[in-house]
Structure 1
Amino acid sequence: MAAAQLHHLRWRTPRLGVTGGIGSGKSSFAAMLAARGAVHVDADQIARSVTTAGGLAMAPIAAAFGPELIDERGGLHRERMRALAFADASARARLEAIVHPLVGQATAERIALAEQSGAALVVLDIPLLVESGRWTSQLDQVLVVDCREATQIQRVMQRNQLAPEAIERILAAQASRQARRAAADMIIYNDTQDLEHLRAHAVRIAALFGL
């Protein structure tokens, strides 16, 4: 994105959507932009917060799926729900119908606070930005952090101790690299373990927004 393109941003506070597949490094990149002064809104963190014990999604989840999908602390039993969602697309759709509106509401509230504070940039860290199809109208630019699927599998195995087959199922449920790249205004290729390489890109992107 050239600096001249910033004149065409629709919102008073620019909104940059950051996305990428599991293990791509998108959350690390978003956090690096936050370190430069951007306001970081993490949709995944919001989704986790509404599905923990006492979270706003828990009563409707219990009603829709029953007690077997609730863990001993009263939050979402994530392993069972993950298995159910991969096996049953309708279950995944029911869960998303409960969680996504709550995430959208909390995200809007955090954006409003950022705008009121005079933030120079809001970074929306959205794992399923491309898959949902509902975020792009609320963003000025979409940045995709991209890497090879083999790199994603290696990183997630190291980070989450998941089996390769489980990671491949997650990848299959996400948008393809091609679909994400096609939706991007900017693409950061992050196929190394060098965080300084990623940080250099973050510094460059932040500078486009005056950070």
Structure 2
Amino acid sequence: MGKKKNINSNDLITFYMDYVLEHNHNPKTVYAFAKANNFEEQKFYEFFSSFKSIEKHIFKAFYDNTYNALERNDDYHSFDARHKLLSFYFTFFENLTANRSYVIYALENHKNSLKGLQLLSELKHAFINYIGGLEIELIDVKQAQIDKIQRRGLKESAWLQLLITLKFWMDDTSSSFEKTDIFIEKSINTSFDILDVAPMKSIIDFGKFIFKEKIQM
């Protein structure tokens, strides 16, 4: 049988995810991985330099699939920043859930130290750029340097919030991960309420939810 010739990056991602889930370990070499999937080794290097690079790209692909789906939705473009971010979260975690076995495999041993994980570096870069593009309104301090610090802090805190939600989702045992949906809604609304200096009701409500979940876990 001839080797597969029309291989693209998405094919390689699918092959890789299937391989690690079927074997419960990474391929030993690119040669062995290519042989197992019947394509020339050089095709791998047209898209990725190593298995580490494909692993990073997989999490970036979850972002890309989410962003592209939202961009195709006419309603999404009429949303304010709060509802755009909520839409992003719900769609992103739907993508993760569709690939939960791989995500758990890749992150289970790192779920308590996700913040500096290189595996998520491409996802982080894409996500904080997305946050910057939402043009979330902050306090107008009339000082460029302070505004720059505010914007940087917003991006980093938004990234941390995504990681916290990711860990919650990994630990979630509720049916259809409904507790993660509640967590997303409460945490995003609370974040925007803080920025808007809104009433404390949703902050207290979210605190009660977290306390209850921690007690149960």
Largest Rg, 1 or 2: 2
Normalised to the residue count of structure 2, the TM-score between the two structures is 0.28
Q: Which has the higher strand share?
A: 1
Q: Which has the higher helix share?
A: 2
Higher relative contact order (CA 8 A, sep 6+): 1
Normalised to the residue count of structure 1, the TM-score between the two structures is 0.28
